[in-house]
Each structure stands twice: as structure tokens, then as C-alpha cells.
């Protein structure tokens, strides 16, 4: 019989195994982007594969670090506007025809470790779209509020009863009726954002809609007036 593995070793093992195919998907995307030449649409799809692989790899980095806190940190950075647009692309892919859009201008900011923020916003937007009819608008809005970066996901969907709102962050709590409701989206969002020093807030009125907000403090130093060349 083998030596029993600790939970951290199991986590590190899964993160390690997930990282390999992701690296291959990323490099296939890069090669594809090079060979497609002037076909703009295919090139954009190939670059989206590269960017999404980067997001997923930065989640894998976080998993590896929580399993092995002393190993050197890999820091990937991403522009906020690129993260938000990838969220829109992914959620529209998951829910074709949904009315998800970005509202207002996006502050010019660089985010350290874009992967977790990307995953959190995909979860919040996924919830918002699921709670809405296809024609009901769902918007993402990012703004600087003093030192804080606030990102709101607004919907005008079914909203939450008091009981649902109180339980919404509980792991495995779900009101979804489909075959695979995990009930892990919001509890994961909270854990990820709190590990970044921020918080997730919910405001919801039954039959009127919901606002899920991510608040990340201390962003003043990250503000850039313009993108460096090549972005």
C-alpha cells in the first residue's frame, strides 16, 4: 500500500497535472496564432485561447502556492480591461444570446494575478445571467472609489429571498434545478477575493434583481494613465 498523502499533496498533485495540459493548450494557441496569417477572426480566437489558458494557469499557480507556501511565487499580471472582456466572451459562450455587457469606461489598471479575479467575475456573471431572462440586461461595471477598485455585476433577474441571500455564500448551497448544481460559485468567490484582501457584497431584492460587488482595496498605486505600447 502507498504512503497516505496529505490534503495539500493531493491539491498540489492535481494542480500540477492540470498545469501540464494547460501549458500545451497555451502553446497550441500561440502556434495557431502564428500560422493563421491574415485570417483575423481565427487569429483572435487563437489569442483568446492563449489568454484564457493564462487565466487558468494563474489559478493553478495559486493552488500550487497554497499547497506549498514556501515555493517561489510566479507573478502574472493582466490589464483590467482585458480581464473584463474575457469574462464577457466566456459567459456569452456559456449562455449564447445573453444580454451581458460592460457598462461605462474601465479604469486603466494592471492586476497582479488576473486568474482568480477572472474566475470570480465569470462566476458572478454566470449567476446573474442564469437569474435573468434572455432579454434582461446584465452589466459589469468597474470603478475606482477612493483607494478601492469596485466591480459590480448587476442583473434585473429573479433576485433572492432573505433566506437565499443569507445562505448564498454557503458551500454547496444552490437553488438551481439543473442536473449539476455545485453551489460552490459564491463560496469560492468569497474565498478568492478575501485571499486578495478584498470582499464580496450582495444586494438583492426579490423579483427586482441583484448586485454582486467585488471590492479590492488599495488600488491607487496601480492606476496607469495609458497602456504601454503593444497592449
Ligand X SMILES: Nc1ncnc2c1ncn2[C@@H]1O[C@H](COP(=O)(O)OP(=O)(O)OP(=O)(O)O)[C@@H](O)[C@H]1O
d(Cα 214, Cα 198) in Å, to the nearest integer? 7
Binding of ligand X by 182 (CB under 6 A):
yes
Stretch that binds ligand X, among 19-27, 88-96, 167-175, 193-201 (CB under 6 A): 167-175
The residues, ordered by sequence, that sit 6+ positions from 119 with a Cβ below 8 Å of its Cβ are: 55, 59, 188, 192
Among 53, 58, 127, 139, binds Mg ion (CB under 5 A): 127
Nearest to 61 by CA among 112, 96, 108: 112
Select the binding partner of residue 108 from Mg ion, ligand X, none (C-beta < 5 to 8 A, by kind): none
Among 14, 32, 99, 173, binds ligand X (CB under 6 A): 173
d(Cα 72, Cα 65) in Å, to the nearest integer? 8
Stretch that binds ligand X, among 12-20, 98-106, 180-188, 223-231 (CB under 6 A): 180-188
Among 127, 139, 193, 214, binds ligand X (CB under 6 A): 127
Stretch that binds Mg ion, among 17-25, 39-47, 84-92, 119-127 (CB under 5 A): 119-127
Phi, psi of 145 (to 5 degrees): -125, 95
Amino acid at each position: 500500500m502507498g504512503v497516505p498523502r496529505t490534503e495539500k499533496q493531493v491539491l498540489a498533485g492535481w494542480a500540477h497535472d492540470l498545469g501540464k495540459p494547460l501549458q500545451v493548450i497555451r502553446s497550441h494557441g500561440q502556434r495557431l496564432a502564428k500560422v493563421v496569417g491574415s485570417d483575423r477572426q481565427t487569429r483572435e480566437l487563437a489569442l483568446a485561447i492563449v489568454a484564457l489558458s493564462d487565466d487558468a494557469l494563474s489559478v493553478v499557480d495559486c493552488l500550487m502556492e497554497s499547497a506549498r507556501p514556501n515555493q517561489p511565487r510566479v507573478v502574472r499580471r493582466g490589464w483590467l480591461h482585458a480581464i473584463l472582456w474575457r469574462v464577457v466572451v466566456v459567459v456569452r459562450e456559456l449562455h449564447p444570446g445573453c444580454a451581458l455587457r460592460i457598462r461605462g469606461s474601465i479604469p486603466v489598471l494592471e492586476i497582479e494575478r488576473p486568474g482568480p479575479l477572472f474566475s470570480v467575475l465569470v462566476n458572478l456573471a454566470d449567476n446573474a445571467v442564469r437569474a435573468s431572462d434572455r432579454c434582461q440586461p446584465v452589466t459589469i461595471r468597474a470603478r475606482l472609489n477612493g483607494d478601492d477598485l469596485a466591480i459590480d455585476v448587476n442583473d434585473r433577474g429573479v433576485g433572492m429571498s432573505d433566506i437565499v441571500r443569507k445562505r448564498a455564500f454557503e458551500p454547496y448551497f444552490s437553488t438551481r434545478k439543473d442536473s449539476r448544481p455545485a453551489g460552490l460559485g459564491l463560496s469560492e468567490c468569497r474565498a478568492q477575493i478575501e485571499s486578495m484582501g478584498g470582499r464580496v457584497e450582495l444586494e438583492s431584492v426579490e423579483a427586482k434583481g441583484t448586485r454582486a460587488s467585488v471590492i479590492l482595496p488599495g488600488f491607487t498605486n496601480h492606476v496607469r494613465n495609458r497602456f504601454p505600447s503593444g497592449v
